[in-house]
Amino acid sequence: MPIRFASKPGLVAYITVGDPDLATTHNIAIAAIDAGADVLELGVPFSDPLADGPVIQRASERAVKNGTRLHDVLALAAALRLERPQTGLIIFTYYNPVLRFGLENFCAAAEQAGVDGVLVTDMIVEEAGDYLAALHRHRLAPIFLAAPTSPDDRLERICAASQGFVYAISRLGITGTRASLESDAEQLVRRLRRFTKLPIAVGFGISNPEQFAAVGEFADAAAIGSALVATIEQAGPKDAPSSIARFISGLRGGIREPAVPAR
Amino acid sequence: MAATVTSRVAGRFGPYGGRYVPETLVAALDELEHAYAEAQTDPDFHLKLDSLLRDYAGRPTPLYFAPRLTESLGGAKIYLKREDLLHTGAHKINNCLGQALLAVRMGKKRIIAETGAGQHGVATATVCALFGLDCVVYMGEEDMRRQELNVYRMRMLGAEVRGVSSGSRTLKDAINEAMRDWVTNVRTTHYLLGSVLGAHPYPTMVRDFHRVIGREARVQILEKENRLPTAIIACVGGGSNAIGAFYEFIPDKDVRLIGVEAGGRGSALGEHAARFSGGSPGVLQGTYSYVLQDDNGQIALTHSVSAGLDYASIGPEHAALHDSGRAEYTSATDTEALDATLRLARTEGIIPALESAHAVAECLRLAPSLTPRDILLVNISGRGDKDMGILARELHLSGA
């Protein structure tokens, strides 16, 4: 399974699929991968994104409005899998669209598409019996969130249930960029290390090269979402892919040049 | 080898309920669950709550025989459970007093809440004033417009009312925003959720704080009639007043339990809030229950003339009662609710909240088909003062 972080720190890039439209999302995804994203989180737009801040709320609303469905996200994953076989592909979603699609149907379709893992924002380990069984049947990595408020016994269960990597939430709150990272993140990663040898990605609020480098000091990867989605929003459809490529290259301080397109 | 995880069963009603939330909130839900369990075994907690319910809120509420309504319908005897007479004007205060005591026990000094019709927001603002707690209430901008009086009441009581402009700008969107606040301020803040919705332990805890409605009504009807009612009728948004009225009667298999949803202005998706006729099981805002949604799992918009019933999901215990057949669920349209409001006002001198008027509307349909031996017990969950703007417009009361 290709969830692996080639560089240090690794980069997990979140994009809301269908914002501004499916064709542009495809080009953005390719640009992000070629600029150095190790893992791509394909966000399924949802009408009620209660864990998200205003940036991803707006993106989600635009994508829902233009009719983006879970089917479309899976079709995009299948296309990306063919074009970029080495990139980790994660479906990032709220639970209801998956339930409506059918848990088993969804897992079968995701496996078929070549998806590597699934992260459901409102799924916690205690509720994950059927969910984990279905993911395991279809060789999909379950990725769970770990929070600064999670006590050690929960972190242990979260680590035990996770595959691929563990997603450590850097701070309390919803998604969105912040000027500074709170010290919660480093402490959480240290606590998680006691329970797992899986890579640990830190996300929520990372938006610039300094924060990216700082996370690299203690975590294996940084997950970037709202900063990318905001870049897409500001750039508009035509310039979004090149803006994303520049943004991601910039995170690594220009050390890693965008890869030459495959053809 | 992947570890296996056992699915927890706490907070389940059949397959419904559970806890579907961002990980950040789980510790706070656990803390609340423990605080509530502790409080339940603490006589001092019950003493305090009972005394507040009696001396501050005005319990027990009367069970009133409605003679002129009964006579005009020519069928069953009709009794009204007068939750509208409680302090703040609705049943919501029962739950708010209970949760405020819990917040104080947990040392939380800041309270957040969502509100639709504003009755829960007013009750929350009230208990925060009473206990000296900071209070922020999230309310959809559409609801702020149509329940303006309650916005002023909340501000009068010292609460900050934050308008929510996302989605349909109603109750669902207010809950989203309250959850976003909670996930950010969870260490200092208690989320005083106002219905039998959301993640465990809310549906169970909020139900327990409203069980007093049915407990009183059962004693009262036995005193007055020496028998149980034929049916209990209550409106169902999230379903807190209904579950409170139903719960003590669940073992009484001969007592019909009838929940009335908002039929709005039509049967198409988006025109109503009738979850059982138009919805299907799904997860919204922390719980697994019936949800109005489209084929892609996007939550549908809803409509009701009553802000308190205008919500896309329903409490998970109602979902279980529906599936088992123990409770029946029907709906009343906007027009039927408005007619029922007028009818109750003119026959009994009681102006019910538009939410409660949905229960009255079902009573108007059902009573004539029954005999004078039958008893209908209708829960008047709130009073209609807050709706005077809508009523003036819809019923042409301006007198010009």
Q: Could you tell me if B285 lies within 8 Å of chain A, comparing CB atoms?
A: yes
**Amino acid in the structure at residue A32:** A
Reported confidence tier of residue B7, pLDDT bands at 50, 70, 90? very low
Task: Look at residue A164 and tell me if it is in a domain.
Answer: yes
Q: CA B234, CA B223: separation in Å to the nearest integer? A: 21
Convert the pLDDT of each residue in B368-389 to its tens digit: 999 999 999 999 999 999 999 9
pTM over 0.80: yes
| Whether the Cβ atoms of residue A220 and residue A4 lie closer than 8 Å to each other | no
Tens digit of pLDDT at every position of chain A (263 positions): 579 998 889 999 999 999 999 999 999 999 999 999 999 999 999 999 999 999 999 999 999 999 999 999 999 999 999 999 999 999 999 999 999 999 999 999 999 999 999 999 999 999 999 999 999 999 999 999 999 999 999 999 999 999 999 999 998 888 886 766 667 899 999 999 999 999 999 998 899 999 999 999 999 999 999 999 999 999 999 999 999 999 999 998 754 444 444 33
Does the residue A153 lie in any domain?
Answer: yes
Give the C-alpha separation, A113 to A116, whole Å.
Answer: 9
Query: What's the CA gap between B12 and A135, in Å, rounded?
Result: 23
- Mean pLDDT, all residues of chain B: 95
**Does A258 map to a domain?**
no
Q: What is the pLDDT of residue A172?
A: 85
- What is the C-alpha separation between B343 and B337, in angstroms, rounded? 10
A57, A100, A136: residue with CB nearest B293:
A100
Percentage helix, strand, coil for chain B under 3-state DSSP, each rounded to 5: 50, 20, 30
Q: How many CA atoms lie within 13 A of B183 on its CB side?
A: 28
ipTM of the predicted structure? 0.94
8 Å CB contact of B18 and A127: yes
B103-131: burial string, b at 16+ Cβ within 10 Å, e else: bbebebebbbbbbbbbbbbbbbbbbbeee
pLDDT, one tens digit per residue, over B13-47 is 999 999 999 999 999 999 999 999 999 999 999 99
- B21·A122 Cβ contact <8 A: yes
Distance CA B393, CA B396 (A): 5
Contacts of B297 in chain A (CB under 8 A): 46, 70, 96-101
Tell me which chain B residue has its CA closest to the CA of residue A53: B180
Q: Which residues of B are catalytic?
A: 92, 114, 381
Q: Is residue A4 in some structural domain? A: no
List pLDDT tens digits, range B292-346: 999 999 999 999 999 999 999 999 999 999 999 999 999 999 999 999 999 999 9
Taking CA atoms, what residue in B is nearest to A57?
Answer: B166
The reply to whether A1 falls in a domain is: no
Residue A263 belongs to a domain:
no
How many structural domains are present in chain A?
1
Angle between helices A226-251 and A54-65 (to 10 degrees): 110
Question: What CATH number does residue A224 fall under?
Answer: 3.20.20.70
Distance CA B341, CA B356 (A): 9
Non-local (6+) Cβ contacts of B3 within 8 A are A160, A161
Distance, in Å, from the CA atom of B181 to the CA atom of B183, rounded to the nearest integer, reads: 6
pLDDT at residue B55 greater than cutoff 90: yes
Do B27 and A154 count as a contact with CB atoms less than 8 A apart? yes
Is residue A108 assigned to a domain?
Answer: yes
Nearest to residue B123, comparing CAs of B96, B161, B162, B160? B96
- Find residues 24-63 of chain B whose CB sits inside 8 Å of chain A: 24-28
Q: Is residue A5 part of a domain?
A: no
Q: What are phi and psi of B264, to 5 degrees?
A: 60, -135
Write out the residue range of the structural domain in which residue A49 sits: 10-251
Inter-chain contact A100–B5, Cβ cutoff 8 Å?
A: no
Distance CA B282, CA B292 (A): 9
Cis peptide before A85 (omega within 30 of 0): no
